[in-house]
Amino acid sequence: MTGKVYLVGSGPGGLGLMTFRAREVIDLADVILYDQLPGDEIIASLPDVEKIDVGKYGGSHTKEQNEIENLMIKFAKAGKTVVRLKGGDPFLFGRGGEEMEILRDNGIEVVMVPGITSGIAVPECVGIPVTHRDFASQVTFLTGHEDPTKEESAIDWKWLAGTKGTLVILMGVKNLPKISRFLVENGMNGDRPVAIIERGLRPDQRVTTGTLEDISEKARVRGVKPPAIIVIGDVVSLYRE
């Protein structure tokens, strides 16, 4: 009998923000494939079954994506219950959608277990709501992997420069100088507040605030590193140290 794969979101960090359902399916697993993003506390709590670190962290690919997919297929075809544990929610920039498709194409049952996404929870835990009736009634989540100055982009950067809503950028640390410059050059107010939350909900969490105009210099001086969430918008004014 073919096994099945649970694609599980671990939440933004720490056991407290992992769902009950995630915990339950982890306890059913014969094999767990995990990234580093779930964080030390969660990884240390995993049961004593076969565990494979398939982490890709800060650009260093421990295992290529298709290797990860092949491992899941191999274990499921051998009848095992597989948990693929990912940070946050599997379907927000987690490649969960791609993994689901490939597993389906191979005739493997896939069960999704949503997680709390860092895109909402990390700002939330430092007191920044991604929407607020006085400040923003729309929010856009985007990957900062895309270079806004590139001819071809899957992101409508010009549109973003004109939006009143909140921008929540994941994976944006490296391109922050380009992104902030592009947004200002395309009409966004340079005074728009920005917050960067590094390692949200971890013991060494750090917040850097500024404006669109000065944030990339501040980030450079402070040596801001991934993983971090960047929030651009008036909601950032609610942040208190």
Catalytic residue list:
35, 56, 171
Q: Is 34 in the site for ligand SAH (CB under 6 A)?
A: no
Chain Cα centroid distance, residue 180? 20
**Can you read off the two tokens belonging to residue 128?**
């920044």
Name the segment binding ligand SAH (CB under 6 A); options: 20-28, 66-74, 80-88, 127-135.
80-88
Q: Write down the least CB distance from residue 98 to ligand SAH, Å.
A: 12
Q: Does 117 bind ligand SAH (CB under 6 A)?
A: yes
**Separation of first and last alpha carbons in the chain:** 55
Candidates 22-30, 149-157, 208-216, 224-232: pick the segment binding ligand SAH (CB under 6 A): 224-232
* Whether the Cβ atoms of residue 142 and residue 38 lie closer than 8 Å to each other: no
Residues 43/86, Cβ–Cβ less than 8 Å: no
Q: Is 209 in the site for ligand SAH (CB under 6 A)?
A: no
Nearer to ligand SAH, 68 or 92 (CB): 92
Least separation in angstroms between CB 169 and ligand SAH: 7
Pair 8, 86: CB distance under 8 Å? yes
Q: Which stretch binds ligand SAH (CB under 6 A): 67-75, 92-100, 130-138, 214-222?
A: 92-100
How large is the angle between the packed helices 176-185 and 215-222, nearest 10 degrees?
Answer: 170
DSSP annotation of 145: T
Q: Which is nearer to ligand SAH, 119 or 165 (CB)?
A: 119
DSSP E strands in 77-143: the ranges are 82-86, 109-113, 139-143
Establish if 122 lies at the interface with ligand SAH (CB under 6 A). yes
Cβ atoms 84, 6 nearer than 8 A: yes
State the amino acid at position 133 in one-letter form.
Answer: R
Binding flag, residue 194, ligand SAH (CB under 6 A): no
Return the residues of window 132-171 that contact ligand SAH according to CB under 6 A. 170-171
Contact flag: residue 99 with ligand SAH (CB under 6 A): no
Candidates 22, 26, 31, 37: give the one binding ligand SAH (CB under 6 A).
Answer: 37
Q: Beta strands of 24-178 (E only): which ranges? A: 31-34, 50-53, 56-57, 60-61, 82-86, 109-113, 139-143, 166-170
User: Residue numbers of the site for ligand SAH (CB under 6 A)?
Assistant: 12-13, 37, 86-89, 92-94, 117-119, 122, 170-171, 197, 199-201, 226-229
